[in-house]
Amino acid sequence: MSTLRVELLNTGSELLLGNVQDAHLSWFGKELFPLGLRIGRQGTVPDGSPIRDALLEAFPRTDILIVTGGLGPTTDDITRETVAQILSRRMVHHPETMERIKERLSRRGIPLQDRMDRQAMAPEGAIVIPNENGTAPGLHIPATEGISWATPHIFLLPGPPRELQPMARAYLLPFLKDLAAGGDQHECRIYKVVGMGESMLEAKIGMELTKRGDLEVGYCARPNEVDFRLIGPKEILDEVEPSVLAAVGDHLVSDENESMEEIVVHLLGQKGATLATAESCTGGLLANRLTNVPGASAVFLEGFVTYSNASKTDLLGVPPDLIATHGAVSEEVVRAMAEGALRKSGATFALATTGIAGPDGGIPEKPVGTVWLALARDGCETEVWKETRPSDRLTFKQVVTQSALDRLRRTLVSM
pLDDT for position 146: 56
311 exposed, middle or buried (CB, 10 Å; 0-12, 13-18, 19+)?
A: middle
User: What is d(CA 35, CA 358) in angstroms, rounded to the nearest whole number?
Assistant: 47
E-strand ranges in 177-259 read: 187-193, 216-222, 225-232, 252-254
pLDDT for position 52: 95
Collapse the DSSP code of 369 into the 3-class scheme (helix H, G, I; strand E, B; otherwise coil) and give the result. coil
Collapse the DSSP code of 229 into the 3-class scheme (helix H, G, I; strand E, B; otherwise coil) and give the result. strand
Collapse the DSSP code of 164 into the 3-class scheme (helix H, G, I; strand E, B; otherwise coil) and give the result. helix
pLDDT for position 377: 96
Element (H, E) at 65: strand 64-68
Q: Please give the chain's pLDDT, 415 residues, in tens.
A: 568 999 999 999 999 999 989 999 999 999 999 998 999 999 999 998 899 999 999 999 999 999 999 998 888 889 999 999 999 999 999 989 888 888 888 888 888 787 778 888 999 999 999 999 988 899 999 998 754 568 899 999 999 999 999 999 999 999 999 998 876 778 899 999 998 888 888 888 877 788 888 899 999 988 889 999 999 999 999 999 999 999 899 999 988 889 999 999 999 999 999 999 999 999 999 999 999 999 999 999 999 999 999 999 999 999 999 999 999 999 999 999 999 999 999 999 999 999 999 888 888 889 999 999 999 998 999 999 999 999 999 999 999 999 999 999 999 999 9
Directed axis angle between helix 50-58 and helix 79-86, to 10°?
Answer: 50
Element (H, E) at 322: helix 320-326
CA 314, 319, 323, 324 torsion: positive or negative? positive
Strands 225-232 and 216-222 come out as antiparallel
Collapse the DSSP code of 59 into the 3-class scheme (helix H, G, I; strand E, B; otherwise coil) and give the result. helix
pLDDT for position 2: 64
CA 110, 114, 118, 121 torsion: positive or negative? positive
pLDDT for position 1: 57
Directed axis angle between helix 331-345 and helix 309-316, to 10°?
Answer: 40
Domains of the chain, with CATH numbers? 6-179 (3.40.980.10), 187-254 (3.30.70.2860), 260-414 (3.90.950.20)
Reduced DSSP (H G I as helix, E B as strand, rest coil) percent helix, strand, coil of the chain, to 5: 45, 25, 35
pLDDT for position 148: 54
In terms of pTM, does the model score above 0.85?
A: no
User: What is d(CA 18, CA 23) in angstroms, rounded to the nearest whole number?
Assistant: 13
Nearest to 375 by CA among 268, 252, 288, 248: 268
Q: How many CB atoms lie within 10 A of CB 159?
A: 24
User: What is d(CA 411, CA 15) in angstroms, rounded to the nearest whole number?
Assistant: 44
- Lay out the sheet containing 225-232: strands in order across: 216-222, 225-232, 187-193, 252-254
Collapse the DSSP code of 410 into the 3-class scheme (helix H, G, I; strand E, B; otherwise coil) and give the result. helix
pLDDT for position 147: 47
Bridge partners, 23 (sequence order): none
DSSP string, 256-318: S---HHHHHHHHHHHHT--EEEEESTTTTHHHHHHHTSTTGGGTEEEEEE--SHHHHHHHH--
